[in-house]
Amino acid sequence: MSRNLDIKVRQCYTRAVAQGALLFTESSISKHREHGEVFEVRFVPALAKKPSNRPKGSANPFLPYDERLHVAKLGSTHHLLLNKYCVVPHHLLITTAEFRQQGEPLTEADFSAVLNTINNLTSRNIVFYNSGDNSGASQPHKHLQVLPMPEYMDVPPSIGIWLQYDSPSGQVHTSDQLPFAHYGIVLDQDQQQDPVRLAVAYKMVYDKLTAAYGTKISYNMIMTKTVMMLFPRQHSSWNGIAINSLGFAGLVLTKTKEEQELLDRYGILHILTCVGYPRTNKK
């Protein structure tokens, strides 16, 4: 696959919208400054009235997938699909070709599909994985997601705060600056290109997470080309505000005025600490 993946994504998106296969929902954005970083709150009142995307019965939206949402095959193991219910255009899903359980640890094949996608797109993206019942995941078939990063954003704000700590590549670090538990690693050039090395980096971070919280822990993973971070989760939402991996990146979605007010009153870092775990020196 080459850089014409950009063109493929755009063409497939335009066609899928025209066919009614993809349902884009309008939203408005406000910016919240906390700890010197700009967090994004996306208000989507239309989603408050919509039924949940959670699967009913045994229907699996990724096996079989809707051909009209299919962008590309990623080797023999994964597919690149458009997100059917997006609030940001060109939001992509990387799904396993065969059924695997969402929440299984990520593999070399998963990371090969990720690199095959982001290294062939010209846009900057946030890759994320919602793992486990408390992580915000709604579909049980294994999938990662790729969201174009907002143009005004250099790095997701959580990563920005974490990077205020001088983090050498190759080691897993936590920062005193983030109030919630997290484990992060700066990816070197090789890890940015080689799925085997990237999988090793993930394993290092995952091992720290599971050593502290056990292998059954729900967690969120966010990744840019240069950083990967994992966050343990104990609740999927706080006072009705659902938080997935994007929330931990610093991009929060709200569906009602009440949620907006709560968020203004308590702040995003506080809410993330409630749905995650408070950072302790021990962990």
Catalytic residue among 79, 143, 173, 182: 143
- C-alpha 40/C-alpha 42 separation (Å) is 6
Residue 57 CA to chain centroid, in angstroms? 25
The answer to whether residue 144 forms part of the interface with ligand B4P (CB under 6 A) is: no
Give the nearest distance from C-beta 67 to ligand B4P in angstroms: 11
- Contact between 95 and 141 under an 8 Å Cβ cutoff? The reply is yes
By CB under 6 A, which span of 152-160, 182-190, 250-258, 270-278 interacts with ligand B4P?
Answer: 250-258
Q: Residue 105 corresponds to which amino acid?
A: P
The answer to whether residue 87 forms part of the interface with ligand B4P (CB under 6 A) is: yes
The answer to whether residue 138 forms part of the interface with ligand B4P (CB under 6 A) is: yes
The answer to whether residue 275 forms part of the interface with ligand B4P (CB under 6 A) is: no
The answer to whether residue 244 forms part of the interface with ligand B4P (CB under 6 A) is: yes
Handedness of CA 79, 85, 88, 89 (dihedral sign): positive
Give the nearest distance from C-beta 146 to ligand B4P in angstroms: 11
49 DSSP 8-state letter = H
- C-alpha 93/C-alpha 78 separation (Å) is 10
Using the minimum distance from each CB to ligand B4P, give the nearer residue, 195 or 250. 250
Count of residues interacting with ligand B4P (CB under 6 A): 27
Residue 97 CA to chain centroid, in angstroms? 20
Secondary structure class of 12 (helix, strand, coil): helix
Secondary structure class of 218 (helix, strand, coil): strand
Give backbone dihedrals phi and psi of 160, rounded to 5 degrees, phi first. Answer: -60, -45
- C-alpha 105/C-alpha 22 separation (Å) is 29
Q: Which of 71, 151, 154 is nearest to 113 (CA)?
A: 71
By CB under 6 A, which span of 84-92, 113-121, 216-224, 227-235 interacts with ligand B4P?
Answer: 84-92
The answer to whether residue 241 forms part of the interface with ligand B4P (CB under 6 A) is: no
Q: Residues 198-217: x/- map of binding to ligand B4P (CB under 6 A)?
A: --------------------
Identify any residues that bridge with 73 across adjacent strands, giving them in sequence order: 79
The answer to whether residue 42 forms part of the interface with ligand B4P (CB under 6 A) is: yes
Question: Is 143 tagged catalytic?
Answer: yes
Among 16, 74, 83, 159, binds ligand B4P (CB under 6 A): 83
Strand pairing report for 241-242 and 237-238: antiparallel
Identify any residues that bridge with 229 across adjacent strands, giving them in sequence order: 184, 222
Give the nearest distance from C-beta 124 to ligand B4P in angstroms: 15
Among 61, 156, 160, 232, binds ligand B4P (CB under 6 A): 61
Among 178, 251, 271, 275, binds ligand B4P (CB under 6 A): 251
Q: Which residues are identified as catalytic?
A: 143
Q: Which residues of this chain interact with ligand B4P, rule CB under 6 A?
A: 42, 47, 53, 61, 66, 69, 81, 83-88, 93, 130, 136-139, 145, 147, 242, 244, 246, 251-253
